[in-house]
């Protein structure tokens, strides 16, 4: 029976450890729950079949034991009646039934063991499914909160990057201002110094020269005009 081959995996499965290992619990928990429901349906069907086989083999064992007991009583009665040959016949039949009974007991033991395993799987799967159903909404809520927090973290990082870029621009602007100030200062230093004496010389030199109008008026006086 295929489901019995998975007995160890199902019984050993730790639902809590499994949930912790899920990379995307929100998606995987639904898929895992669906898979477990399919397993449970198969286990229920197989359990019913195994229990029916257990009941059938137990009935055959009981019938065989009753037949063995019956022929044992017949053998006793034959001996009491002084008919040893008949007693021997009954004993031979009894031994044949006992041999058959040994095989039936083996079959019953196997069916009984399988039934126990199937019940264990059924109970384990049922408990795990109930655990998943109970925790599913909690897990999904936590995942949503976690994703929201991740979004906020990303937004915070983006804000920090923007602030960093703004700070860098401010530093660049300050540097440009310093460069401009330095250039203006250098230009001022490179200008030739003003010769104050030269400026005064030009001022006073112009004071000794008559204007054109003055000279024209003087000529008019000489000519009597």
pLDDT at residue number 219: 75
Of the spans 9-23, 31-45, 199-213, which averages the highest pLDDT? Answer: 31-45
- C-alpha 39/C-alpha 15 separation (Å) is 15
* pLDDT tens figures, 155-186: 677 666 666 656 766 777 777 778 777 777 77
Q: What are phi and psi of 194, to 5 degrees?
A: -75, 130
| pTM metric for this prediction | 0.50
* pLDDT tens figures, 82-98: 999 999 999 999 999 99
Res 65 pLDDT > 80: yes
User: 78 or 8, which is more confident?
Assistant: 78
CB of 19 within 8 A of CB of 25? yes
């Amino acid at each position: 029976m295929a489901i019995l081959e998975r007995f160890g995996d199902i019984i050993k499965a730790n639902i809590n450890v499994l949930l912790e290992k899920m990379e995307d619990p929100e998606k995987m928990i639904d898929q895992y729950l669906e898979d477990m429901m399919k397993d449970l349906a198969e286990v229920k069907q197989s359990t019913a079949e195994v229990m029916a086989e257990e009941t059938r083999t137990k009935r055959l064992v009981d019938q065989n034991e009753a037949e063995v007991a019956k022929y044992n009583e017949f053998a006793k009665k034959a001996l009491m009646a002084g008919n040893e040959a008949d007693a021997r016949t009954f004993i031979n039949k009894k031994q044949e039934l006992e041999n058959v009974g040994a095989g039936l007991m083996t079959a019953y033991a196997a069916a009984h063991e399988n039934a126990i395993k199937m019940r264990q799987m059924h109970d384990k799967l049922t408990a795990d499914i109930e655990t998943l159903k109970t925790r599913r909404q909690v897990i999904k809520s936590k995942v949503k909160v976690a994703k929201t927090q991740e979004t906020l973290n990303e937004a915070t990082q983006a804000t920090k990057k923007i602030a960093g870029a703004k700070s860098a621009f401010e530093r660049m602007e300050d540097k440009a201002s310093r460069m401009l100030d330095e250039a203006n200062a250098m230009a001022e230093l490179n200008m030739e110094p003003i010769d104050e004496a030269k400026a005064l010389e030009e001022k006073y030199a112009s004071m000794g020269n008559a204007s054109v109008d003055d000279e024209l008026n003087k000529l008019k006086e000489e000519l009597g005009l």
